[in-house]
Amino acid sequence: LLCGISSESQTPPTLELPIPDLSIATTTTYDIDSFIAKVKCLSVASKGVRVQFTPSSQKNISSDVHLFSKIEERLASGKVHVRQVPLHHIPHFYLGHLTSSLYLPLYVFLPGLWQKNLGTNSYVANQHLQQWMDIGFIPSILQHCPPDIVQHLPLSFASASMNTFARGRELGIQNREVYGAKRQELHYFLSGRYLKPIWQDMI
């Protein structure tokens, strides 16, 4: 058939394929390659969470996950309009990941910071990150965690930031090309037993 037909015969040869045995039972299997969950408390991480006190915006959700969140928008007329905003367009930051798996990142969403004129920008400014850490998260950790845990944690957003970029600054003394470019992705472990009171104290 692939070589064509001869001039003597105008009928191409018949290509016969074996007929499958339909009596054999078939099964269906499912492959889950990703999932997402919405939680209201850090206690979901029963085995603990590894926190990053100076989250990098490069870890933000940048692709469409086909989920939306309702955000109230006040119009010039004074009326409130509820808008469906794609999840990856809402300002958020990477808080860390569950200790049980590196592939279960934990994000904090701040819908109150969303503005229509920002478009698809989902980054949270350092000013707001510092307020969230220094006014809410870190004081709550200091209140509920014992001293043997607190002694290993940064006591402020500024302190955590200095630790994150310390190695880059030290290398920059010897090599100007990498000054300020080296960032250490430092994570600090918080046991699951303290996460519920920490979060409840914040809200």
Rg of the Cα atoms in the chain:
27
Find where tokens 């990477």 sit.
94
pLDDT of residue 6: 61
With a CB cutoff of 8 Å and minimum separation 6, the contacts of 202 are 136, 137, 140
C-alpha 73/C-alpha 191 separation (Å) is 38
Domain boundaries, the chain: 42-202
Q: What is the pLDDT of residue 185?
A: 85
pLDDT tens, the chain, 203 aa long: 455 556 666 666 666 667 776 677 777 777 666 778 888 899 889 999 999 999 988 889 888 888 888 888 877 788 888 888 888 999 999 999 998 877 789 999 998 888 877 777 889 999 999 999 999 999 999 999 999 999 999 999 999 998 888 877 766 655 555 544 577 888 999 999 999 999 999 88
Q: What angle is formed at CA 197 by the lines to CA 144 and CA 40, rounded to 5 degrees? A: 145
pTM for the full model?
Answer: 0.74
d(CA 1, CA 143): 81
Report the alpha-carbon distance of residue 116 to residue 139 in Å, rounded: 32
Give the pLDDT score at 56: 87
User: What tokens does 154 get?
Assistant: 């940064």
At 120, the amino acid letter reads: T
Structure-token match 């707001």, residue found = 128
Q: Please name which of 136, 125, 106 lies closest in space to residue 40, comparing C-alpha atoms.
A: 106
105-to-37, 38, 98, 115 alpha-carbon distances in Å: 11, 12, 6, 25
Q: Report how far Cα 72 is from the mean position of its chain's Cα atoms.
A: 23
Q: What SS3 class is residue 128?
A: helix
Residue labelled with tokens 């104290």 = 201
CB 71 within 8 A of CB 83: yes
Locate all alpha helices (DSSP H) within the chain, ordered by sequence. 126-131, 138-144, 147-150, 157-174, 192-202
Residue 52, CA distances (Å) to 22, 39, 95, 127, 187 in order: 56, 19, 6, 16, 5
